[in-house]
Amino acid sequence: MSYFDRHNRPTPGAVKGVFAHLDCLVDGIDQLKKAGVKDFIVTSPLPRHEIEEMMYEGRPSPVRWFNLAGALFGGSSGFSLAALTHLNWPMIIPAGKPLVSIPAFIIITFEATVLFGCLFTLIGLLVHCRLPANDLQYEVKDPRYSDDHFGIIVNNLTADTAEKVRGILAHTGAVEVSGMEAAHAS
Amino acid sequence: MSSITYGKVTRDILRPLFKPSAAYMGLLGLCVAGVGLLLFCWYVQLTQGLGVAGYAPPVFWGVYITTFVFWIGIGHAGTLISAILFLFRSKWRTGVYRASEAMTVFAVMTAGLFPALHVGRAWNAYWLFPYPNQRELWQNFKSPLMWDVFAVSTYFTVSTVFFYIGLIPDLAAVRDKTRGIIQKTYGFMALGWRGTDRQWRHYMAAYGFFAAFATPLVLSVHSVVSWDFAMAQTMGWHSTLFPPYFVAGAIFSGCAMVITLLMPMSLIFKWDEYIGMWHYESLAKMCLLTGSILTYAYGTEYFIAWYSDNPYEWGIFHFRAVGEDYAWVFYMMVFCNCLAPLIWWFKKMRTNLWVLFIVSIIINIGMWFERYNIIASALAHQYDPNAWTYYAPTWVEIGILIGSFGWFGLWFTLFIRVMPSVAIAEIKELLRPPLKSDEAAA
C-alpha cells in the first residue's frame, strides 16, 4: 500500500459521525466520555469554547511556553547584541555618556522580544498542531468539516465497541455515521 | 445576520474567487502600468544618480522618505483592527480585518521599497541590516535609523505571520471547495489544516499571543519612525510630541484607507451582509477620534514652538504657515486632516457612502502632505539663511510616488481574487450556531 493510499482509505477501527448541530455534537462528546471512550477527535469549521471545554477541561495550551521562551530569548539576545557590539569597539563618548545606554538599547530589546516571541509562538503552534499535516487519517478529511458540519472520529475500536459507539453517535443526532461497517444514517 | 448559515458564509465569501471580470482585468492592468512607471523612474535614477530625485544641499530627505512614512502609517490600521480590536473582542472588526491585514502587509512591502530607492545605490541596501564589517565594527544601535530597521522588519515579519496564520482555516475551506491543481495549491498553503479540536485549541492560544504581541507594535513602529525625525537636532522635528502625534496620524490615515479599499470591494462582491455601514461608520468614528488627536497635536506643536521662545524653532513653524514656499502644503494638510473629516460628526454624512469614500481619499491626500510638510519645509529652512532653499519633487519622484500606488494596488488586487478577503471562520463565530433545539422550537 502506497503512502497516499494509506491516508485515502477508511482507517481500520475508526468510526466517524457527522453532525449538523452544535448541541448534538456536544451531547455526543459528553455521551462518549460517559461511556469511557477516550480516543476520539472532534472537528469543526470554527473554534467553539464548548468543544474545547469538553475536550480539555480548561487546560491551557502549552504554546504559551514557546511564547515566553521566545520573548525571553529575543529580549536578552537583542540587548546583548546592542551592548556587546558597543563594548567590542569601545568609543570615548563625551560628557560621560554611557557606552551601554539602557534607554537607547531598550528599542532593540523590545523589537527583538516581539520578533522572537512571535516566531517561537509560530514554532509552538506548528509543533503542537502537527502542521504541516499530511498524514491525517481519512475520516478527518471530510470537506464538510470546513463548511457547515461538525465531526467526531473515534479510533482504535473493536467490533463490539464500534457498535456501541455507532449507537451513541446516531442516538445523539449525527446525520451520518460511518466506519467499520456500512454507514448508518440516523 | 440571523438568516445567514455557516454554509452561506462559505459560499458567499468564496464566490468571487478566480472569476476575474473585464473591469478587474482593467484595474489589474492599471496597477501593472503603475509598477512599470515605478521601474522606469527607478531605472532613470539608477543610471543618472540621485540628482534626478531633486536631492541637493541641504535637502537630502524628500518625497521618498515622505512616501515611506506614508505607507508605514497606512499599515497601522490593519494591525489595530486585527490585533487590538481582537483583544477588545470588538465584533465589527470581523468583517474588515482580513482585508485590513492584507493592506498592512502590502503597505509595509511598498514602504520597504523606499529606503532602497532613497539610498541611491539600491544594491547596497543590505548594509542596513545588522552584521559586522571587515573590521568587526557593527552598526550603531543608538541610531534611530537602526531602530527603524529593527522596528519595520519586526513589524513586517509579525504582520505577515499574523496574516498567514489567520488565513490557514480559510485556505482549508477553499481547498475543500475546489478541485485539481487549485485544490492541491490551497491544500499546500493550508498546511493540512482540518479543524480538529487539537488544532483549534493551539491555534486560538497562539492567535491570542500574536495579537498581544502585535498590539504594542502598533504603538511602537510609528513611534520609532517618528524618532527618525525627533532625535535629530533639526528645528521643526526635535520634539517629544512626535511619537503620539505620528501614531495617531498613522491610525487616522490607515482607517481612511480601509474605507477607501473596502467600500468598493464590498459593493462589487455584494458583501453588504459582511461589510456594511456598521463597519464604515465605526471606521469613520476611529478617524474622528484620531483626527481630533492629530489636530490637537498640530496646535500643540505651534504652542510649544511659540512658548519655547526659541527663534529658530518658531521660525520654522512661522515659515510653514506663512512662508511663500510651503504654506499651500500646510493649508492643504490642515484642510484635509483637520477640517474635511469634521463632516463625519454628522451621522447623516458618515453613513453616506459617497461622503465616506470622498473624505477617506481626502484624508489620505492630507496625510501624505503632512509628512511632506514636516520633511521638506524643515530641511529647506534650517539655521543658516544662506543655506535656505526650495525643494520640490521632480518628475522622477512623482513617477515613483504614483508607481508605489500601482505596486500596492497590484498586490491588493491579486489578493482579493485569490484569497478569502473576509475571514470565513471568524464570521461564523459571530453567527448563532446551528442548534437542534432551535429547529425543534421553530
- State whether B425 and A45 contact (CB < 8 Å): yes
For residue A163, give how far its alpha carbon lies from the nearest alpha carbon of chain B (Å). 24
**Alpha-carbon distances, residue B116 vs A121, B120, B224, B227 (angstroms):** 31, 7, 19, 20
- Four-CA torsion B336, B338, B340, B345, nearest 10 degrees: 150
Among residues 29-68 of chain A, which lie with CB inside 8 Å of chain B? 41-48, 51-52, 55-56, 60-61, 63-64, 67
Across B70-81, average pLDDT: 93
Give the pLDDT score at B398. Answer: 97
Overall average pLDDT of the B274-283 stretch: 94
Residues A95 and A140 in one domain: no
How does strand A15-19 pair with strand A150-154? antiparallel
- What are A124-140's pLDDT values in tens digits? 999 999 999 877 788 88
| Pairwise CB contact (< 8 Å): A52 & B220 | no
Work out the pLDDT band at A4, boundaries 50, 70, 90. Answer: very low
Residue A125 near chain B (CB below 8 Å): yes
How far away is chain B from the Cα of A149, in angstroms, using its nearest Cα?
9
Does the pLDDT value for residue B130 go beyond 50?
yes
b/e B47-63 (16+ beta carbons within 10 angstroms → b): eeebebbbbeeebebbb
Question: What's the grid cell of residue B432?
Answer: 448563532
Span B328-367, pLDDT tens digits: 999 999 999 999 999 999 999 999 999 999 999 999 999 9
pLDDT of residue A7: 63
Are A83 and A39 members of one domain?
no
The predicted-structure confidence for A90-116, as pLDDT tens digits, reads as follows 887 777 788 999 999 999 999 999 999
| A155/A176 same-domain check | yes
| CB burial readout A139-154, b (16+ within 10 A) else e | bbebebbbbbbbbbbb
What is the per-residue pLDDT for B319? 95
- Does A55 share its domain with A138? yes
Per-domain residue ranges of chain B: 6-17+55-76+111-130+138-146+217-392+419-434
* pLDDT tens per residue, range B229-270: 999 999 999 999 999 999 999 999 999 999 999 999 999 999
Same domain, A46 and A76: no
Indicate the residue of B198, B213, B434 with minimum beta-carbon distance to A20: B434
Angle at A3 between CA A159 and CA A16, to 5 degrees: 35
Mutation target for B interface from A40, A48, A99, A125: give the one with most B CBs within 10 A: A125
pLDDT above 90 as % of chain B: 87
Same domain for A68 and A118, yes or no, is: yes
B437 at the A interface (CB within 8 A)?
yes
CA distance B130 to B133: 10
Residue pair B435/A150 in contact (Cβ under 8 Å)? The answer is no
- ipTM value for the complex: 0.93
Q: Is the CB of A118 less than 8 angstroms away from the CB of B157?
A: yes
A136: which chain B residues are within 8 Å (Cβ-Cβ)? 192, 194, 196
Chain A hits for B165, Cβ within 8 Å:
122, 125
**B422 touches B22 (CB < 8 A):** no
Cell 530625485 maps to which residue?
B53
Contacts with A88 from chain B: Cβ below 8 Å: 136, 138
Interface test with B, best of A107, A145, A171 (most B CBs within 10 A): A107
Sheet holding A15-19, edge to edge: A40-43, A150-154, A15-19, A176-179, A181-184
Is the domain of A50 the same as that of A32? yes
Q: Would you say B387 and B276 are in contact if contact means Cβ atoms under 8 Å apart?
A: no
**A53/chain B closest Cα distance in angstroms:** 10
Q: Does any CB of chain B come closer than 8 Å to the CB of residue A173?
A: yes
Round to whole Å and give the CA distance between A147 and B194. Answer: 11
A43 sits in which H/E element: strand A40-43
> Which residues on chain A are in Cβ contact (under 8 Å) with B177?
143, 147
A144 and A103 fall within a common domain: no
Shared-domain flag, residues A79 and A125: yes
Find chain A residues with C-beta within 8 A of B228's C-beta.
none
Please state which of the ranges A26-30, B137-141, B407-411 shows the lowest mean pLDDT: B137-141
User: Is the separation of the CB atoms in B220 and B175 below 8 Å?
Assistant: no
pLDDT value, residue B150: 96
CA pair distance B418, B102, nearest whole angstrom: 12
Interface touch B194/A133, C-beta < 8 Å: yes
pLDDT above 70 coverage of chain B, percent: 100
Whether residues A72 and A50 share a domain: the answer is no
Number of domains within chain A: 2
- Residue in A41, A46, A64 nearest the CB of B205: A64
Residue B439 in contact with partner chain A when CB distance is under 8 A: yes
Find the CATH number of the domain harbouring A138.
3.30.70.260
Last residue of one domain, picked from the residues A89, A113, A129: A129
Please tell me whether residues A77 and A47 are part of one structural domain. no
Residues 6 or more apart in contact with residue A183 via CB below 8 angstroms:
A176, A177
Is residue A186 within 8 A of residue A170, CB to CB? The reply is: yes
Mutate to test the interface with A, among B209, B219, B221 (most CBs of A within 10 A): B209
The domain boundary, picked from A114, A129, A144, lies at A129
Q: Do A23 and B130 touch (CB under 8 A)?
A: no
Residues A97 and A11 in one domain: no
Q: What is the pLDDT of residues B298-338, one digit of tens each?
A: 999 999 999 999 999 999 999 999 998 999 999 999 999 99
Q: What is the pLDDT of residue B167?
A: 96
What is the domain range of residue A121?
Answer: 63-129
pLDDT score recorded for residue B202? 96
| Residues of B with Cβ-Cβ distance to A30 under 8 angstroms | none
